[in-house]
Amino acid sequence: MDTSHFFVTGDPMIYGADVSIVLAVVAIVFCLTYFKKWGWIWREWITTVDHKKIGIMYLLAALLMLFRGGVDALLMRAQLAVPNAHFLESEHYNEIFTTHGTIMILFMAMPFMFALFNMVVPLQIGARDVAFPALNAISFWLFFIGAMLFNLSFVIGGSPNAGWLSYPPLSESAFSPGPGQNYWIWGIQISGIGSLATGINFVVTILKMRTPSMRLRDMPLFTWSTLASSIAILGAFPILTVTLAMLTIDRLLGGHFFTSTAGGNPMMYVNLIWMWGHPEVYIVVLPAFGVFSEVVATFSKKRIFGYSSMVFSMIAISVVSYYTWVHHFFTMGAGADVNIVFAICTMIIAIPTGVKVFNWLFTMFRGRVRITQPMLWFYAFVPCFLVGGATGVMLAAAPADYQYHNSYFLIAHFHQVLIGGVVFGYLAGMYYWFPKIFGFKLNDRLGKWGFWLWQIGFYVCFMPQYALGFMGMTRRIYTYNASAGWDMGWAPLNMVSTVGAFLMGIGFIFQVWQIVYSIKHGERDVTGDAWDGRTLEWSIPSPAPVYNFAILPEVKGRDAWWYQKQEMKNGDYQEKPVKYEPIHMPKNTGVPFIMACFFFIAGFGFTFEWMWMGVAGLIGVVVTLFVRSFQYDTDYYIPVEEIERTENEYRNRVLSAQQTAN
Amino acid sequence: MQQSASAHVSNHDHGHVDQEGLKILGFWIFLVTDCLLFATLFAAYAVLHTHTNGGFTGKEFDKPGFIIETFILLISSFTSGIAVLFMHKGNKKALLGWLIVTAALGAVFVGLEINEFTNMVHEGATISTSAFLTSFFTLVGTHGLHVTVGIFWMIGLMIQLSRKGITNVTKRKISVISLYWHFLDAVWIFILTVVYLMGVM
Amino acid sequence: MRKWTKLAKYSFLTLLGMVLLAGCDRSKYIVLDPKGPVGHEELRLIIISVILCAVVIIPVIGIFVYIAIRYRDTPDNKAPYQPEWADSKVLEVIWWGIPVVIVAILGVFTAKTTLNLTKPPVKDVKPIVIQVTSLDWKWMFTYPDKKIATVNYAEIPAGVPVQFVLTSSGTMNSFWVPQLGGQEYTMPGMSMGLWLQADKTGEYFGSGANFTGKGFAHMQFRVKSVTQENFNKWADSVKKNSPALTNQGYKNLEKPGLEKELSFSSYPKGLYEDIVNKHGGTYMDHMNHMGDSSSMSDMKKDDKSMSGMDMEHNK
């Protein structure tokens, strides 16, 4: 491989990024050394297997990636604000839209989702950790290293530029030589292994680690959504792994899975990648629905309407999502019969989704609705997702799609459901569970500024794009009105859309300010029950102690914590004597991080087609697994004295807060 | 508002979560995903198996070769079953012995397969000759890689067994690899049928 | 704060104005203003789907606004509070039932339209065939019965159904003339059929619609529909005055780069079929997926070079 362009040159923005990266690394190393925190960071974070800390790391990574993906978006919109702009030339723009899509779905939405799974699910089911804590850490570090590898591309070697799904033949060596496309493959491949492991972990956790008295039908809906999503992950990610491997074999070993010569079939890639790709978007949206079920019930002070219907619809969505993939390429000419079947399946999946919206609305009906930050984001979600879902049904009508496909109508639709559904949902979750994880709430005033800027920015950015689709504007063009004699009138709406994008960017800045400000000034959560919640996670301190529950809770039905509080208010509650026992916990381990480092070496090597390095990295991974297999001393016990101390400290804190209040 | 004093379920059962059972369930689920992995490879093979680009076709597979490979792998699955029976009887020596036989048979299988692939390459049938060969080498090669990993895994477990003896943990580990080994055998039956038998007919 | 709110208000109004004014020129919404029967049929389905969706979406948003306002947790709110009410079979039947009915209706319309579009837009006029090849980064049109070729523009007779057969010389693109109808992918080794027709004379915007790399944004082309008489005149003029497209000429077109509009009086025999075969056509099913078989026999009849090819083989 030609490595004369190892470092990406020629672009002032890239040089600026190089400098920032070096400065940031130097700053981090300096701070860690000066404050003597190397040991701390190794012990407390790099080797942790605690699901709560892993959740925090996932959240930080997701927010960082939201920033990077957002900057990509602003760069694109800046280029498209006026016709024939030369802010970004073609290949640079192509790299940016490719990295924007890949980052937002795979390195922002997935880790944000895993953050919520990790921070919340064990606490909701009365468990002390997930089923496989070390595997959980492996999942995080594989994601981290995959994301690092992918992000490295824009300064070393060059980024991929064939779109976020890299269709062949464009993504084959003949049309996309060089490391860029390989970065895409390996970044996602490594991270995808972590995702699959998380799917396995949470299915087993939810099925086997609930506190003994919690039946499946007592589980909170967020946990149900995690289960549905995790099962979907199990079905979809193996397909992704194989498809990426096949593309690698084509590129690295001269194979012919998807080439147009020697018998390869590019259409097979399109089918396979979307057989993963469609379930993937339901994988990310189901937990957002789970978040809203918790938020709406809590802030309506009412039980969720139609619990069984909600569970059924989530499972239905999870299953039917496997039967819709062809709608991503109705125009690839599969034939009328195939198109009709998939059009109808796609419309069918809108039904359970719509049912959920009704259930949330009728939870609020005859409730007492408080408008808090999480609830605000639910209010934003309802109209946004309804319209986005409707345009989805419009797209499902295959012949209509022949006009919408790959136009700005499509872009507007999927951003509306992904932002309106997934991002708004995860943000609601972040605001809702922030006090549980960090011990303080996020400031309301700054939050409102961020919220309104996001809302206005979103509609100003994306509503014009539906119109642009009707005006015949295709996606993935770096400029328009470029060809002589064609002025299609797209300029004004593009300018408006760009303004909207920047409004959203400013909204995000307010959110970052909000987080930083609240670290010092945010309202502290003393009781652990910041919102007068309904489910078990609110029955323990904030932040939760390392063992979560000193005694495994007894659950008598749904919304167990809420009904226990009612009993305590009425004086019906029978408090039983407390007898602590030593708690069995997993030990920290450096294996996950080390294995991820070997995966990085492998991925980097294969990206540049240095086979020796790639193979060495893979051998390193296998050796790490081998070594781990020999480790038998992996657990320890928390002594009773420590548990007593923690619980008493917490009780005193609550009592003194109550006294101050009185 | 008091909280943690609330629930009372006695903790004598804190190991109520059966750690070993958990890991076996997790491995079953992993096998389901591995099954899907192979299913995808089979699907690609089904699409591409007639795309021979004027080169090597299925009719040219070495019949005695894949029949012997099949016998070896099936017998190794049988011997792994015997090993597990001895494990349940608590007979560490017999367990180790039959594991060695299993691993050795696995190694012979891999050796035969490497030989088969090398011969094909020398005849000019490489992974880049045609889409058929690309999907053949990938499908069969992925299975062979799984077997190879399994052999090293088995060796590691044999060392652990000789040091720790038969405990709850080592029992679970042997059960897991035994599941893995049987799974690979099942996949091979499909490969034998779909790739080799349907290829030579 | 006052200054900021005023600024925000004026900015918002300006934006709104821009949006509304931009929307004033209806003819720019070309998908909503089709110039041929295929586009009209697709627009009909679009309108039906909008109406069916609006039937659900608008009332639901209304219900949402009502509920959000009525049940707010303010001290003087007298609305009933029933924290345990969480079930209603009647409501469930309504909100499962109505969407099912809507999907059924839309499904029927979708199925009918999808099947219709596989047939020629009108039955009583003899269609013409135009072969389309997408290259990096230009479009080549070859006319099997007129035996001429063009690059980046095509002329068609108005009122006549055109069967475009589509292929690619390399990467996967998509052929889209929004004013005449929907698009279809161009793929190496495949020959895809797409029926389009212009009702009247006019000039229509065409573009590539599936990303193919560096020059993709420049893949616009012009489709001009003229009277049958003028179409014949144009073809004759091209035959008389334009240079021939040689094999070397085609190889030059294959080189990555942009092109202006070109015309050729002839092209190498079987060029389109060779392109299809060279890029994997021998392994692909040659049936036009969106045309009907009569168009394939038309192709066989009109282009003798294809008679030697076994179109039905499945090696």
How many whole angstroms separate alpha carbon A202 and alpha carbon A233?
A: 10
Q: What is the pLDDT of residue C2?
A: 58
* CATH number, domain containing residue A347: 1.20.210.10
Q: B50 touching C, CB under 8 A?
A: yes
pLDDT given at position C246: 96
| For chain C, domain boundaries | 29-71+91-117, 128-293
- Residue C153 has φ and ψ, to the nearest 5°, of -155, 155
The amino acid at residue B83 is A
Report the gap between the CA of C277 and the closest CA in chain B (Å).
Answer: 12
Name the A residues in 234-273 with CB < 8 Å from any B CB.
234-235, 237-239, 241-243, 245-246, 249-250, 253-257, 259, 262-265, 268, 272
C215, C258 contact by CB (below 8 A): yes
Confidence band for A18, pLDDT divided at 50, 70 and 90: confident
* A11 pLDDT tier (thresholds 50, 70, 90): confident
Split into its structural domains, chain A has a count of 4
Average pLDDT over all residues of chain C = 87
Six-digit token string for B184: 């690979």
Q: Is the pLDDT of residue B6 over 50?
A: no
d(CA C189, CA C186): 9
Query: Is the pLDDT score of A602 beyond 70?
Result: yes
Chain B residues touching residue A632 (CB < 8 angstroms) = 164, 169
* pLDDT given at position B10: 39
User: Contact A260/C56, CB-based, under 8 Å?
Assistant: no
Domain housing A615:
590-631
Rg of chain A over all Cα atoms, to the nearest angstrom: 25
ω before C137 within 30° of 0 (cis)? yes
In a domain, A551, yes or no: no
pLDDT at res. A653: 87
DSSP secondary structure, C61-102, as one string: HHHHHHHHHHTB--TT--S---TT----HHHHHHHHHHHHHH
Whether the predicted pLDDT of C301 surpasses 50: no
Contacts of A390 in chain C (CB under 8 A): 53-54, 56-57
How far B154 CA sits from the closest chain A CA (Å)? 10
Contact C314 B51 (CB under 8 A): no
- Pair A642, A661 in one domain: yes
- The pLDDT of residue C47 is above 60: yes
- Above 90 in pLDDT, residue A268? yes
Q: What tens digit of pLDDT does each residue of A180-223 get?
A: 999 999 999 999 999 999 999 999 999 999 999 999 999 999 99
ipTM of this complex prediction, to 2 decimal places: 0.95
SS3 track for A285-327: HHHHHHHHHHHHHHHCCCCCCCHHHHHHHHHHHHHHHHHCHHH
Instruction: Give the mean model confidence (pLDDT) for residues A464-493.
Output: 91
Q: How far apart are CA B109 and CA B106, in angstroms?
A: 5
Average pLDDT over residues A150-162: 94
CB-based burial of residue A237 (10 Å sphere; 0-12 exposed, 13-18 middle, 19+ buried)? buried
Residue B119 has pLDDT above 90, yes or no: yes
A548, part of any domain: no
Q: What is the mean pLDDT of chain B?
A: 92
C217 neighbourhood in chain A, CB within 8 Å: 90, 476-480, 482
Q: Give the per-residue pLDDT at B5.
A: 38
Q: Record the tokens describing residue A324, joined without a space.
A: 């819709």
- What are the chain C neighbours of A354 within 8 Å (beta carbons)? 56, 60, 95, 99
What's the whole-number mean pLDDT along residues A131-148? Answer: 98
Mean pLDDT of A135-150: 98
What is the spatial distance between Cα C172 and Cα C153, in angstroms, rounded to a whole number? Answer: 20
Cα distance between residue A158 and residue A181, in whole Å: 9
High-pLDDT (> 70) share of chain A, %: 99
Q: The tokens of A611 are what? A: 């086979």
pLDDT of residue C8: 62
- Residue A546 is predicted with a pLDDT of 95
| B164 in contact with C, Cβ within 8 Å | no
Look at residue A550 and tell me if it is in a domain. Answer: no
Q: Which residues of A touch C215 (CB under 8 A)?
A: 90
pLDDT digits (tens, 9 = 90+) for B20-72: 999 999 999 999 999 999 999 999 999 999 999 999 999 999 899 999 999 99
Chains with 3 or more CB pairs under 8 A to chain B: A, C
Judge if A349 and A380 occupy the same domain: yes
Task: Render A579-604 in DSSP notation, one character per residue.
Answer: ----EEEEPP-SHHHHHHHHHHHHHH
Distance CA A433, CA A377 (A): 14
A contacts of C258 (beta carbons < 8 Å):
none
Mutate to test the interface with C, among A483, A496, A562 (most CBs of C within 10 A): A483
Q: Which residues on A lie below 8 Å from B26 (Cβ)?
A: 131-132, 200-201, 204
Q: Convert the pLDDT of each residue in C102-156 to its tens digit.
A: 999 999 999 999 999 999 999 999 999 999 999 999 999 999 999 999 999 999 9
| Residue carrying the six token digits 């135009």 | C130
- Cα gap C69→C303, rounded to integer Å: 70
Q: Mind telling me how many Å the CA of A242 is from chain B's nearest CA?
A: 6
CATH superfamily label, C128-293: Cupredoxins -  blue copper proteins (2.60.40.420)
Q: Is the pLDDT of residue C27 over 60?
A: yes
Closest-CA distance, A363 to chain C, in angstroms, reads 7
Confidence of residue C3 (pLDDT cuts 50, 70, 90): low
Mean pLDDT of B143-169: 97
The residue of chain C with its CA nearest to that of A384 is C61
Q: C-alpha A219: how far from its chain's center?
A: 22
CB contacts < 8 A, A to B, total 183
Torsion over CA of B177, B178, B183 and B185, rounded to 10 degrees? 120
Chain B within 8 Å of C251 (Cβ-Cβ)? no
B6:A549 CB<8 A: no
Distance from CA of A618 to the nearest CA of C (A): 33
Tell me which residue in B6, B37, B132 faces A238 most closely, judged by beta carbons: B37
How many Å apart are CA C300 and CA C306, to the nearest integer? 6
Cα(A119)–Cα(A391) distance, integer angstroms: 33
Do A134 and A154 belong to one domain? yes
Average pLDDT value over all residues in chain A: 95
Q: What pLDDT is recorded for position B3?
A: 36
Q: How many contacts, defined by CB atoms under 8 Å, are there between A and C?
A: 295
What's the rounded mean pLDDT across residues A38-65? 97
> Which region, left, alpha or beta, applies to residue A306 given φ > 0 means left and ψ of -120 to 50 means alpha?
left
Instruction: Please provide residue C184's backbone torsions phi and psi, each rounded to the nearest 5 degrees.
Output: -150, 150
Query: Smallest CA–CA separation between A264 and chain B, in Å?
Result: 5
* Contact residues, chain A, for B14 at CB < 8 Å: 552, 581, 583-584
Chains contacting C with at least 3 CB pairs below 8 Å?
Answer: A, B
Measured CA to CA, the distance from residue C16 to residue A460 in angstroms comes to 9
Q: Note the CATH architecture for domain B23-49+64-200.
A: Up-down Bundle (1.20)
Distance from CA of A481 to the nearest CA of C (A): 9
Minimum Cα–Cα distance from A554: chain B residue: B7
* pLDDT interval class at B16 (50, 70, 90): low
- Please tell me the distance from the alpha carbon of residue C1 to that of residue A436, in angstroms, as a whole number: 34
Residue range A499-507: average pLDDT?
A: 97
Which of C283, C284, C285 should one mutate to test binding to chain B, selecting the residue with the greatest count of B CBs within 10 A? C283
Average pLDDT over residues A570-574: 83
* Any B CB within 8 A of C2 CB: no
pLDDT tens profile A390-438: 999 999 999 999 999 999 999 999 999 999 999 999 999 999 999 999 9
Among residues 64-123 of chain B, which lie with CB inside 8 Å of chain A?
none
The rounded radius of gyration (Å) of the Cα atoms in chain C is 26
Residue range A236-261: mean pLDDT, rounded: 97
Q: Sorting pLDDT into bands at 50, 70 and 90, what band is A7?
A: confident
Same domain membership, residue A108 and residue A29: no
C133 within 8 A of C139, measured Cβ to Cβ = yes
Distance CA C11, CA B154 (A): 70
Judged by a CB distance cut-off of 8 A, whether residue B138 touches chain A is yes
Say yes or no: B48 contacts chain A, CB-CB below 8 A.
yes
Q: Which residues of B128-152 are buried (b: 16+ CB within 10 A; e: fewer)?
A: bbbbbbbbbbbbbbbbbebbbebbe
> Does B42 lie at the interface with A, CB-CB under 8 angstroms?
no
The DSSP secondary-structure symbol of A363 reads H
Q: What is the pLDDT of residue A467?
A: 96
Banded pLDDT at A2 (limits 50, 70, 90): low
Q: What is the pLDDT of residue C116?
A: 96
